[in-house]
Amino acid sequence: MASMTTGTTSRADANRRRILDVALGELLRDPDASMDQIARAAGVVRRTVYGHFPSREALISTLVDEAVQALSAAHAAGREGVQDPAESVARSVLAVWELADRYRLLIALAQRTVTMQGIRERLTPVREAATGVLRRGLDEGVFSSPLPAPALAYVHEQMLVALMEAVNDGLVAAREAGRCAAVTVLTAAGVPASEATELVAKLND
Amino acid sequence: MASMTTGTTSRADANRRRILDVALGELLRDPDASMDQIARAAGVVRRTVYGHFPSREALISTLVDEAVQALSAAHAAGREGVQDPAESVARSVLAVWELADRYRLLIALAQRTVTMQGIRERLTPVREAATGVLRRGLDEGVFSSPLPAPALAYVHEQMLVALMEAVNDGLVAAREAGRCAAVTVLTAAGVPASEATELVAKLND
DNA sequence: CGTACATTGCACAGTGTTGTGCAATTGCAC
DNA sequence: GTGCAATTGCACAACACTGTGCAATGTACG
C-alpha cells in the first residue's frame, strides 16, 4: 500500500508523518540529534526511520522543504493584489507569522547551535545593559515600539547579525556598515529616519 | 616559560595565538570542524593543540570569551556618560561595530549550521520577493533606509527570527507577536511608528 | 654545549554515529 | 485466518572523532 488511492492513511504513512513531526521538535532541542534519538522520540526503532528516509540528510531535507513551502505560500498569498508596499509588507509578515507559530522552532533552530548557545549566554550582560537603555528611551518617549524593552533588545541583536551577514555577502560596504547599522537600529526603535541619520552623522564627524 | 614576565612572546605563546586565530576562521566555515582540521590549518599537529587546550570545548570557550569580552567593553565604552538614549544606542552600535569587523565571522557562525544553511538557501525566492517590495517602497519614498533593498531584506528576515526567539523565551505573548512583528518590521523600514501601528491595526480588524 | 621546553609522530582505547542486511514478528485488511 | 506490508531486533562494517601516552626530535636561551 505504498500510495493510497483512497483517503485512508496506512500505518506507514501515519508513522512517516509522526516521525517528521517529532523530528522537528527533536532537532530543535539539539540540531545534532541522532537518528536514534529521533526514532525513540517517535516511538519507533531506528531501523524504521531508515525505512522511510534513506538518510539523515533526506529526513532533514524533507522537513525543511515542508516548512519553506508553507512559508513561501503564505508570504505570496499575503501580498497578492496589494499595491501599497507598506501594506504589502504588513500583510506578508502577518501571513507568515501564522505559520511561524508552527515552524518558529525549526527556523530558530540554528540559534541553538552549541556554539551560538554559548555566545548568546555570555552576551547576556551586554543584552541586559542594552535593555536598560532601551527601556529608558521608551519611557522618555524617545523610542517608540509595541515591543517591551527586552524583546526590542533581541531584535537589535539580530539586526546586527543580519547586517554582518549582509556585509559578508557583499550587500553593504564594510566602511558604511557601522553607520547603517546604527541608523537602522535607531529607526527600528521608532526614531524617525531623518533624525536617526542626522544623529549618527553628527557622531561620525 | 609558562608566563612571561618580559614582553617577549615565546614560541608557545605565538602558536597558541595562531591556533586561536585560525580556529576562529575554521569554525566559521564549519562549526563542527574537528581538532585535526583546526590544527592543520594552523600549521600544527593535533597533539600540539591539546598541549595548549585540554579539550575542544576549552578551545571554543576561550574563543568565545575573548570575543565577548572585547564586545562587552566596546559596548560599555560607547555609551558611558551619555544621557540621551538615542545617542547612547547609536554610540554603542558604532563602537561594537568596530570589533564586529573582526568577530563578525564568529558571531554569524551559527548561521552557517548545515541545517540553517539549507533553510536560508531555500528561502532565497521568498527573500527575493521581499526585496522587490522593499525596493519599490524605497523608490516610492514609502520606506526610508540607508540600506539597499537586499540588505534590508536580510534585516527583516532576522527581525522575524528575533521575534520568534522572544516568543519562545516568553518575552512577548504569541497572540500579539504577529502584529508586533509587522509593526516593528515596518518601523525598521522607516515608516513612522504611528502610521505603522495604524496600518497594522486596520489590517487586523 | 647543554638544559629546558615545545613540538612531533605514532599508537591506542573508547565512544558514537551512520547505513545496511536479514530473519522474526506484528498488525491491518480482505 | 491468510497474506502482505510494515515494523522490529539484532548484528554488522566502516568511519570519524576525542583524549591520552610516550619516545623522538626540534629549537631557543644562557
C7 C1': nearest CA residue: B48
Mean residue pLDDT of chain B comes to: 84
Round to whole Å and give the CA distance between B58 and B52: 10
Measured in angstroms, what separates residue B13's CA from nucleotide C7's C1'? 13
A84: chain B residues, CB-CB within 8 Å: 142
Among chain A residues, CA nearest to B172: A151
Co-location of A79 and A122 in the same domain: yes
Q: What is the share, in percent, of chain A residues with pLDDT greater than 70?
A: 85
What is the rounded distance in angstroms from the CA atom of residue A147 to the CA atom of residue B180? Answer: 6
Measure the CA–CA gap between B66 and A46, rounded to whole angstroms: 41
Measured CA to CA, the distance from residue A147 to residue A164 in angstroms comes to 23
Q: Considering only CA atoms, which residue is closest to the C1' of nucleotide D6?
A: A12
- Considering the domain architecture, whether residues A27 and A128 belong to the same structural domain is answered as no
The answer to whether the C-beta of A92 is closer than 7 A to strand D is no
Q: What residue in B sits closest to A122 (Cα-Cα)? A: B68
> With helix as H, strand as E and coil as C, how does A63-105 read?
HHHHHHHHHHHHHHHHCCCCCCHHHHHHHHHHHHHHHHHHHHH
Confidence tier at A115 by pLDDT (50, 70, 90): low
- Least trusted range by pLDDT, from A110-114, B41-45, B61-65: A110-114
Please check whether residues A48 and A136 belong to one and the same domain: no
Region A26-44: mean pLDDT is 89
Are A189 and A97 contained in the same domain?
yes
Domain-ending residue, one of A21, A39, A54: A54
User: Cell numbers at residue B91, please?
Assistant: 554610540
Q: Residue B115: what pLDDT?
A: 60
Higher per-residue confidence, A146 vs B118: A146
Confidence of residue B141 (pLDDT cuts 50, 70, 90): very high
Domain presence at residue A2: no
CATH number, domain with residue A140: 1.10.357.10
- Judging contacts by C-beta atoms under 8 Å, the chain A residues touching residue B81 are none
Question: Where does the pLDDT of residue A116 fall: very low under 50, low under 70, confident under 90, or very high at 90 and above?
Answer: low
A1 CA: distance to closest CA in chain B (Å) = 32
Residues A193 and A146 in one domain: yes
- Residue B166 located in a structural domain: yes
Please state, for a pLDDT cut of 90, what percent of chain A lies above it.
41
Interface test with chain B among A28, A61, A91, A116, by most B beta carbons within 10 Å = A116
My answer on whether A49 and A119 are in the same domain is no
B90 and B161 co-located in one domain: yes
pLDDT of residue B41: 95
Residue closest to D17, CA→C1'? B34
Do A43 and A137 fall into the same domain? no
Does any domain span residue B68? yes
Tell me which DSSP letter residue B113 carries. S
Scanning every residue of chain A, which has its alpha carbon at the shortest distance from the alpha carbon of B137?
A85
Residue A34 in any domain: the answer is: yes
B2 occurs within a structural domain: no
Interface contact B189-A65, CB threshold 8 A: no
> Cβ B165–A154 below 8 Å, yes or no?
yes
Cβ separation B86–A174 shorter than 8 A: no
Tell me, what's the pLDDT at B112?
56
For residue A104, how many other CB atoms are within 10 A of its CB? 21
pLDDT winner (highest mean) among A46-55, B163-172, B174-183: A46-55
Give the pLDDT band of residue A164 (cuts 50, 70, 90).
confident
Rounded to two decimals, the pTM is: 0.75
CA distance A109 to chain B (A): 7
Domain encompassing residue B145:
56-203
Number of domains forming the structure of chain A: 2
The B 48-77 residues near strand D by Cβ under 7 Å are: 50, 54-57
Query: Are the Cβ atoms of A203 and B91 closer than 8 angstroms?
Result: yes
Give pLDDT, residue A2.
40
- The tens digit of pLDDT for each residue in B28-58 reads 777 789 999 999 999 999 999 999 999 999 9
B61 with B46, same domain: the answer is no
Whether B182 has a pLDDT exceeding 70, the answer reads yes
Q: Which nucleotides of D are covered by protein (CB under 7 A)?
A: 5-11, 16-22, 27-29
- The CATH number given to whatever domain includes residue A41 is 1.10.10.60
Distance CA B148, CA A61 (A): 31
With respect to residue B1, please indicate whether it lies within any of the assigned structural domains: no
B198 plus B130 within the same structural domain: yes
Pair (B144, B50) in one structural domain: no
Q: Who has greater pLDDT, A167 or B184?
A: B184
C-alpha atoms less than 13 angstroms from C-alpha of A106 in its C-beta half-sphere: 26
pLDDT higher than 50, residue A53: yes
Q: Are residues B82 and B167 in the same domain?
A: yes
Residue in chain A lying closest to B102 (CA)? A164
